[in-house]
Structure 1
Amino acid sequence: MAHIAIIIAPKDFRDEEYFEPKKELEMAGHTTITASIVIGTIQGSRGKTTTAQIRIHDITPNNYDAILLVGGSGSYVYDDDAELHHVLKQFADTNKYITAICHAPVILAKAGVLVGKNATVFSGDIPALLSHDVHFLDQPVVTDGFIITANGPSSATAFGRVVATALASE
């Protein structure tokens, strides 16, 4: 099965957008590891905690089959993060799955990996996608090739299932 790196903010990631997809992926037999710009215990915006085991710079397409970016108010820290953008471009260049939920598709757009692609995003971030030549679709979960996006916490479980299914078919 697949190995997925889940990227969370160093604080205030959206709990449901982390825990629900992680659960779906692991129930499907996939392996996950949590990464951030810091290692250690991190608290989500709704009070749950998890542990980031690796740093973002430790993620390469050679070691992981997919990358999943979690949204939430803390995820804005990655909008202009050159290190994460570099990792995302590596995944895009090697046709590995790049997945993101809520605000996180904006990070993909700013990294340049969504140009000309169909995607969805949290409603307040639609202008940011459009300004980066992304085709916005008003759907809970959107798949375009190796890119899977979701629009927010209410779509977290469905997002996890779509990602798990896509990875199982590889």
Structure 2
Amino acid sequence: MKKVAFLLADGFEDSEMKNPYDEMVKNGHEAVIIGLKDTEELKGKQGTICYTAHMSITDANVDDYDAVIIPGGSSPAHLMNNKDIQKFVQQADKANKTIAAICHGPQILNAAGLLKGRTLTSYPGLADEIKAAGGYYVDKEVVVDRNLVTSRKPEDEPAFISETIKKLGVNAW
């Protein structure tokens, strides 16, 4: 069993949270939702799915986790300027932990200064932002660059989830 951190705020893309979260649990992993505040209620952008943060980012220790998943939607925009969020993903990257970001998730990687020289994908509207940060943007359903797994949109979730699970060492999806 691996421990997976989900970085989450209001406005997440519903399926980009629900499907990876459900698959991590289904595969026997512990999924921990980390928000800006402990026990805060977080609503998806459709307003039909809600999650409660298990802990705040200030209480999270990256050493406790094997991977980090960053769902898209507007959640990353609410998280990306938080210094504790940035530090968490920087430490995860330095420790070569899997960081999986879909849709707008790479905004957090950019804010943390992790894109230079990396190849990734995202919501197509972020392509110029990725290039400006020194990253290489490709328009594919999933891109794996060392410890980073990135995807563009909800339709890419099967490939995104499969690659993330592969990185965790389990091929059940």
TM-score range, shorter chain: over 0.9
In structure 2, distance between residues paired with 1:74 and 1:96? 21
Matched-pair contact (CA < 8 Å) for 1:98–1:146: yes
In structure 2, distance between residues paired with 1:140 and 1:58? 33
Gap runs ≥5 in structure 2: none
In structure 2, distance between residues paired with 1:52 and 1:79? 17
Matched-pair contact (CA < 8 Å) for 1:101–1:152: yes
Aligned position for 2:151: 150
In structure 2, distance between residues paired with 1:143 and 1:83? 25
TM-score, length of structure 2 as denominator length: 0.91
The residue matched to 1:75 in structure 2 has which SS? helix
CA deviation string 1:68-115 (max 9, x = no partner): 111112321223221111111111111111111111112102211221
2:107 alignment partner AA: V
Question: Which structure's relative contact order is higher, taking Cα pairs within 8 Å and 6+ residues apart?
Answer: 1
TM-score, length of structure 1 as denominator length: 0.92
Matched-pair contact (CA < 8 Å) for 1:140–1:151: yes
In structure 1, distance between residues paired with 2:107 and 2:40? 25
Dislocated runs of 4+, deviation >3 Å: none
In structure 1, distance between residues paired with 2:41 and 2:111? 27
Q: How many residues align?
A: 168
Cα RMSD for the two superposed structures: 1.4
Percent identity (aligned): 29
Aligned position for 1:37: 36
CA deviation string 1:114-148 (max 9, x = no partner): 21111001011111111100111111111111111
Gap runs ≥5 in structure 1: none
The residue matched to 2:100 in structure 1 has which SS? strand
